[in-house]
């Protein structure tokens, strides 16, 4: 599986650098996961996509590691696009040896610490999940407060692994699409963790009838709005007076698509109309639809249609 770079603000320009955390930490306070990982891995992530309300997804390429990973403020969930890579983990009297490979995940609960020995270079996608996100998702799903996450090392879990690795392939270079996808993915991963690693399986509640026509129309109007509008999952759910969890389920019940998939389809239809009915350049169309570059737009268009925008335009004229 390929790991395309996730769109990101360069780590050196982000406020959450290790130096910032080290300066601001109070006694007994743990650093955030991005700062501790940067310290331990002695490099910067290839790509970062973060959101204060949900957490962060990072993609790393790092050298062999022999160090102690200290307690962190966030839960860390890892999936591996490649492998195998042999490792050892020591925590107190516990000693675990294994192999990181595709289809496995590693869970490091917030506040835990252990020594890691990884004997070869490794590519890894990591999710940094605040406890507050787990608590919110548990409340929205109608469960009791989540217990402590169970530490797992190279644990076979192809479902969670595939969900997390999809972040590297599915983010498309459009800020609106990327943000909406990331919110949905993080909530879905949090639900999965509650079910499999915290002893708090979310209750399945049937959705009857989806959103009302008025609420659905308002959500679609927001999704269709210009690039300056707030089309985050939180804003959409707030408009509907629903939690993010229940809004996603009701929206899909009403439309057959998740909010992210609906917006992606809408942007594709806009792109096709502009390619067919105007002489605007591919670059102008990409910018008008909110993509960061012509390359990002072309890749997203080809993924959905099997053709480049230029080839599609020539065929339709």
Q: What is the pLDDT of residues 255-309, one digit of tens each?
A: 777 888 888 888 888 888 899 889 999 999 988 888 888 888 888 888 878 889 9
Region 207-234 average pLDDT: 76
Sequence-distant (6+) residues with CB within 8 A of 140 are 243, 244, 245, 246
Do residues 192 and 159 make contact, with C-beta atoms less than 8 angstroms apart?
A: yes
User: The tokens of 177 are what?
Assistant: 């699409």
Place of tokens 């792109």: 271
Between CA 161 and CA 155 the distance in angstroms is: 10
User: The tokens of 246 are what?
Assistant: 């229940």
**Selection from 308, 295, 2 nearest residue 173 by Cα:** 295
From first CA to last CA, the distance across the chain in angstroms is 36
CATH class, domain 262-316, is mainly alpha
> Could you read off the pLDDT of 6-27 as tens digits, one per residue?
444 444 443 343 333 445 667 7
Do residues 211 and 250 make contact, with C-beta atoms less than 8 angstroms apart?
A: yes
Q: What are phi and psi of 227, to 5 degrees?
A: -65, -20
Q: What are phi and psi of 107, to 5 degrees?
A: -115, 120
> Could you read off the pLDDT of 244-259 as tens digits, one per residue?
888 888 888 877 778 8
- The CATH number that domain 11-197 falls under is 2.60.120.10
Q: How many CB atoms lie within 10 A of CB 96?
A: 14
- Give buried/exposed letters for 12-48 (b at 16+ CB in 10 A, else e): eeeebbbeebeeeeeeeebbbbbbbbbebbeebbbbb
């Amino acid at each position: 599986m390929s790991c395309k770079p996730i769109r990101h603000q360069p780590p050196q320009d982000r406020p959450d650098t290790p130096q910032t955390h080290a300066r601001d930490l109070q006694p007994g306070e743990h650093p955030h996961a991005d700062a501790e990982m940067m310290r331990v891995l002695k490099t910067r992530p290839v790509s970062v996509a973060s959101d204060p309300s949900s957490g962060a997804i990072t993609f790393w390429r790092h050298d062999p590691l022999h160090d102690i990973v200290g307690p962190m403020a966030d839960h860390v969930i890892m999936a591996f696009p490649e492998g195998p890579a042999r490792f050892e983990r020591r925590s107190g009297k516990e000693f675990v040896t294994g192999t990181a490979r595709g289809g496995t995940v590693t869970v490091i609960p917030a506040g835990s610490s252990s020594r890691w020995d990884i004997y070869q270079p490794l590519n890894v996608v990591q999710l940094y999940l605040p406890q507050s996100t787990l608590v919110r998702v548990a409340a929205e799903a109608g469960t009791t407060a989540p217990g402590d996450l169970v530490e797992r090392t190279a644990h076979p879990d192809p479902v969670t692994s595939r969900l997390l690795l999809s972040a590297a392939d599915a983010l498309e270079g459009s800020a609106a699409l990327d943000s909406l996808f990331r919110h949905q993915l993080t909530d879905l991963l949090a639900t999965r963790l509650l079910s499999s690693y915290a002893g708090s399986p979310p209750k399945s509640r049937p959705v009857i009838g989806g959103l009302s026509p008025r609420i659905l129309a308002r959500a679609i109007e927001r999704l269709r709005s210009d690039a300056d509008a707030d089309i985050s999952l939180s804003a959409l759910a707030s408009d509907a007076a629903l939690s993010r969890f229940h809004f996603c389920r009701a929206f899909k019940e009403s439309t057959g698509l998740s909010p992210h998939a609906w917006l992606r389809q809408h942007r594709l239809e806009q792109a096709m109309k502009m390619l067919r009915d105007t002489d605007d350049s591919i670059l102008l169309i990409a910018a008008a639809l909110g993509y960061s570059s012509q390359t990002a737009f072309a890749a997203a268009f080809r993924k959905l249609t099997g053709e480049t925008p230029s080839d599609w335009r020539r065929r339709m004229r």
